[in-house]
Structure 1
Amino acid sequence: MTTMGEAATSEAELEIERLMTLHPKGFDLSLDRITRLLEVLGNPHRKMPPVIHVAGTNGKGSFTAFCRALLEAGGYAAHVHTSPHLVHWHERYRIGVKGGRSQIVDDALLADALRRIAAANAGQEITVFEILTAATFLLFSEQPADVVILEVGLGGRFDATNVITDPAVSVIMPISLDHQAYLGDRVELIAAEKAGIMKRGRPVVIGQQEFDAALDVLVSTAERLGCPMVVYGQDFSAHEEFGRMIYQDEFGLNDLPLPRLPGRHQYANAAAAIRAVKAAGFPVTEAMMEEAMATVEWPARLQRLTEGKLIQHAPEGAEIWLDGGHNPAGGEVVAEAMAAFEERQPRPLYLITGMINTKDPVGYFRAFADLAEHVFTVRIRDSEAALDPVALAQSAFDAGLVAEPAASAEEALKEITRRQLPDAIPPRILIGGSLYFAGNVLADNGTPPT
């Protein structure tokens, strides 16, 4: 049996590579093909444990991590589907363990599921993402668990995960402009697509929303479908008080440790997870909440890198953070976290950034205009959509930053080290701009998700 340590040449990865030569890699938003395929497979999506279905532009991954930590603190086995992966395809599928921590899927198990799906599809037109989603349903229906946490891939209404007809709860996290080519160029249009995961009469949790136009669409959709609904800021909330997180909903108030995931934006993500688990019908105790805040983990979301092959090239004493935030809203929350770190402990801030061409780089960089001392731009490996580092540096310049291209993250770290003056304060370095770039960095650093 192949282990995850060998996953770069694993059975499952080879199977996915083969499928990619046969089928398109992109998105073709429709439910017809996935519905047909699932029918041939015996409709595994109808045989899964209760589903917590989550959509949104930002915060889905952190929400999922909080949900998993909360449920596992209660002893529940939670299957988890997320996308994209950072280093290995296997990361998209976590298999629940009763009374323990869910595990990234075994390679042989995933490879077997992919082969069965390819055989069932029999060469018919389909996208790779739809095959990968079918694998989610097959794996999660055949392995015992108490709950499934299912993250939408793109949009909601026509996303391949939206064959779920009776979720335990539908959750909509913060909505902002992203994937405009597929979802529309106004937040209310994007909100309408995300709201497509709401199902008639099923509970809905609406996370913190920056835009009233998006919130209005979500609320009106839930009302039209007769969904029991709770809204962040109205029915539940969280805030910091005396170094603790205060969570409050209609059931009462809880005084909890601050989440292990840094950044004030995580309070709202944690709150949405707590309220969603309750809405899904699981009892939530204060002890579960406390344990979840202390144990939650989510790679490449303000992840502190303290060891590894790559970061040994950074200046001694440097503080290094990795974050996959990639759109203007994501840039704003990460910049807010950097500003909070700066207030607590001043350090010069450097950015090492790689992005893909479906994003708004100027909008992302603008959030750092008054914070970052210098930007190094890097091309993302193995991505046809990777932005040219020279063009990306120009975007940073257009946002008011000093920037230059670098051959790699390693070269950028070496250059920062070369510029470090003796006795100068060690810098703070933020590596990010894309989950794909974050994956490159974790792979090069020898610290993939586990």
Structure 2
Amino acid sequence: MNIWGRLLVRNFSWKPFKTAMIGGELSKTYEEAVQALNTLQSNASVLEKVKKDRGKQQENNIPDVLSFAQRAGVTVQDIDNLSIIHVSGTKGKGSTCAFCERILRNQGYKTGFYSSPHLIEVRERIRINGKPLSRDAFSSYFWDCFHNLESSKDEFEGKMPAYFRFLTIMAFHVFRQEQVDVAIFEVGIGGQYDCTNVIRKPVVCGVTSLGIDHTSILGDTVEKIAWHKAGIFKSGSPAVTVQEQPGKSMEVMLERAAEKQSSLSVAPKLEMYDWQGLTPELGIPGELQHLNASLALQLSHNWMANHNKNKSDLIENDTQNEMELSTSKDEVAIAPAFSITPSVADALKSCFWPGRNQTIKRERVTYYVDGAHTPKSIEQCVHWFQTVSSTEAKGVKGDVVKVLVFNATGDRQPETLMEPLLPLQFDYAVFCPNIGTISTTCPDRTNFMVTKGTQLSRCIKNRNVWLELMNNYAKMKTAGKNGIMQPNVDIAEEVPAKQIKLNSDSIVANQNGLSYGNNQSDSALEEKDPLNDLSVKTLTFPCISDTLVWVSQGKDDTINSSSNNILTSPIPQTLTSATHIQVLVTGSIHLVGGVLGVLDPDLTEC
């Protein structure tokens, strides 16, 4: 008997307790719920041990999640009864799911949407009809599951689910209680062993663009990664992916589809649909979104075709393009393009997914935020930023200064993310951890999985990598018109990662707060043409709020500093005299979340 059968027939010696049975628990605050949730995070030392044993533990993930779910009061049958769209991939998962959700909501269906990570508040991860759960609703549903698990943990050697496992289980509980018509689940990491893969009967599965990411978990080739991503395919459920997948990943997904008795097709290009005179417009900017939008159209269409409501009110079928989908290991069919209704076109246009190619304008500062954290998504980010920032700069009468705010975390190689950014010719590059402020900690963004010291050390490493890349890039730019390389002069000097105080251009955290190096004149840099001398001053800050205060130089009065000496430290004249400052924030979705938390704390209500 497989794991599903064993869990259905297994007899537990306990009964789940309802939250209402525990006096006063329903009155607990949202903050208390988040603090209790944070106790399920693994601390840095435990996480390091888990990473070493990860290969041995991966296969136990699904049965463990199912066991925890049953203890929380969520059965396998409860999950089976949900009508689910399941989406994996390396980049574009969240945007694809957001498009799906908006399309189906526009048709009057009640939608549930589970995504990760959150940007500002954890309740963003579980949405009903596009809105994050209210604080009261999150708290109520949280305690439903948490108390059931706590009350039974003594019978299970004190075991409680980890943070992401718990939220996944809670999402199933919420969607069941809210009686949603459709539940859209974004995979966390991978697919085969991801917590969300307890889903046995999805209506349809999707795989977005693939690339190299989470290599310590998924492997170091796109083929290995494709194997994991296609692990969500299920017998009898169609699967759809996007065009132009790298390497032999498409072959791997075809093999997996055949193995799992699923069908795999490729979403057509967006322009292939019959727009019936409508103009294709997407609410989420960026070229990659064309792939995501087409995939979302296919997933929504498949869901509608299998749902027990009217099949024709989403998309009008184009019978001339209907084709039999192939389950062959050798070829993949192009899914049929169809006619788009005004309602669907409006859904694509009005869809909003924060932190992806998002622009926040102030009078004298514009923030361009994009959570790109893979090489391909960074390339797309560069193209987007180059287009929108140059358009804005043309309308500014005066000096425009460009600043990069960057962080890269986990096992990602920072050089692969930074190198595509070099041609943007930033005036300053600023590095900071994913920490909002030094003085206070937001419970929703508390992270026990990595220490502050480790985060700061990573920022110093990122900065060193940037300096080295800039040095090499500048040497390349010294080549003359005849292609002969001119004599080289180092313009950046690497700083040892263990060094806490950086060079004279850098602000860093130490025990006394912030310190600035020698008061070196900025005039030498001012006189150089950035097109000929590509040296860029770099700085490192201990938190996001101080970074934004320094970057904006008083031109954005909505930002408050947690330190007293940010603006009183020696300030480059280029920033103080700039007519307008353009800030690109990228490299980490968690960094973007922290920045948005400072710039737009009400974002969760969008």
Any idea what the Cα deviations from partners look like across 1:352-393, whole Å, max 9, x if unmatched? 112213222111111111014131001222541635322111
Q: TM-score, normalised by structure 2?
A: 0.64
Could you tell me which amino acid in structure 2 is paired with residue 174 of structure 1? S
Change (3 A) 1:448 1:421: closer
Matched residue, 2:113? 80
Report the Cα offset of residue 67 of structure 1. 0.9
1:223 alignment partner, SS class: helix
Could you tell me which amino acid in structure 1 is paired with residue 364 of structure 2? G
Report the Cα offset of residue 134 of structure 1. 1.3
Structure 2 matches for 1:57-96, cutoff 5 A? 57-96=90-129
Task: Confirm or deny that 1:379 pairs with 2:433.
Answer: yes
Q: TM-score, normalised by structure 1?
A: 0.85
Distance (whole Å) between structure 1 residues aligned to residue 223 and residue 210 of structure 2 = 9
Match of 1:33 among 61, 64, 76: 64
Matched residue, 2:186? 151
Report the Cα offset of residue 343 of structure 1. 4.9
Identity %: 24
Task: Confirm or deny that 1:12 pairs with 2:65.
Answer: no
Contact 2:205 2:232 in 1 (8 A): yes
Report the Cα offset of residue 55 of structure 1. 0.5
Structure 2 matches for 1:133-282, cutoff 5 A? 133-232=168-267, 236-238=268-270, 246-248=271-273, 252-253=274-275, 255-282=278-305
Contact 1:356 1:387 in 2 (8 A): no
Give structure 1 regions of 4+ aligned residues with deviation exceeding 6 angstroms.
Answer: 21-27
Bigger Rg, which one:
2
Distance (whole Å) between structure 1 residues aligned to residue 549 and residue 456 of structure 2 = 22
Contact 1:348 1:372 in 2 (8 A): no
Distance (whole Å) between structure 2 residues aligned to residue 102 and residue 108 of structure 1 = 15
Match of 2:598 among 425, 444, 450: 444
Report the Cα offset of residue 152 of structure 1. 0.7
2:455 alignment partner, SS class: coil
Could you tell me which amino acid in structure 1 is paired with residue 183 of structure 2? V
Distance (whole Å) between structure 1 residues aligned to residue 456 and residue 371 of structure 2 = 15
Which consecutive unaligned segments of at least 5 residues does structure 1 have?
Answer: 239-245, 308-315
Matched residue, 1:313? none
Matched residue, 2:342? 287
Could you tell me which amino acid in structure 2 is paired with residue 192 of structure 1? W
Matched residue, 1:311? none
Report the Cα offset of residue 404 of structure 1. 2.7
Any idea what the Cα deviations from partners look like across 1:7-66, whole Å, max 9, x if unmatched? 4xx232022133347996778532121122234433364354310000111101111111
Distance (whole Å) between structure 2 residues aligned to residue 367 and residue 118 of structure 1 = 48
Contact 1:328 1:360 in 2 (8 A): no
1:349 alignment partner, SS class: strand
Matched residue, 1:241? none
Matched residue, 2:321? none
Task: Confirm or deny that 1:399 pairs with 2:469.
Answer: yes
Match of 1:353 among 406, 419, 442: 406
Distance (whole Å) between structure 1 residues aligned to residue 468 and residue 95 of structure 2 = 31
Which consecutive unaligned segments of at least 5 residues does structure 2 have?
Answer: 1-23, 306-310, 316-340, 394-399, 436-445, 471-534, 554-570
Distance (whole Å) between structure 1 residues aligned to residue 166 and residue 175 of structure 2 = 14
Distance (whole Å) between structure 1 residues aligned to residue 236 and residue 402 of structure 2 = 49
Task: Confirm or deny that 1:319 pairs with 2:366.
Answer: yes
Could you tell me which amino acid in structure 2 is paired with residue 298 of structure 1? W
Could you tell me which amino acid in structure 2 is paired with residue 412 of structure 1? T
Any idea what the Cα deviations from partners look like across 1:313-341, whole Å, max 9, x if unmatched? xxx52221122112222211111111222
Change (3 A) 1:20 1:300: same
Contact 1:51 1:169 in 2 (8 A): yes
Corresponding residue pairs, total: 421
1:166 alignment partner, SS class: coil
Any idea what the Cα deviations from partners look like across 1:388-424, whole Å, max 9, x if unmatched? 3221111222333733323434443444435446875
Any idea what the Cα deviations from partners look like across 1:174-231, whole Å, max 9, x if unmatched? 1111111111011100110111000122110102444032222112322343323221
Contact 1:90 1:107 in 2 (8 A): yes
Contact 1:379 1:386 in 2 (8 A): yes
Q: 370-379 or 275-284, which moves further after superposition?
A: 275-284
Task: Confirm or deny that 1:364 pairs with 2:417.
Answer: yes
2:304 alignment partner, SS class: coil
Distance (whole Å) between structure 2 residues aligned to residue 184 and residue 338 of structure 1 = 31
Distance (whole Å) between structure 1 residues aligned to residue 261 and residue 65 of structure 2 = 27
2:604 alignment partner, SS class: coil
1:230 alignment partner, SS class: strand
1:449 alignment partner, SS class: helix
Change (3 A) 1:421 1:79: closer
Report the Cα offset of residue 110 of structure 1. 2.9
Contact 1:207 1:268 in 2 (8 A): yes
Q: CA RMSD in A?
A: 2.8
Could you tell me which amino acid in structure 1 is paired with residue 404 of structure 2? L
Contact 2:405 2:585 in 1 (8 A): yes
1:305 alignment partner, SS class: strand
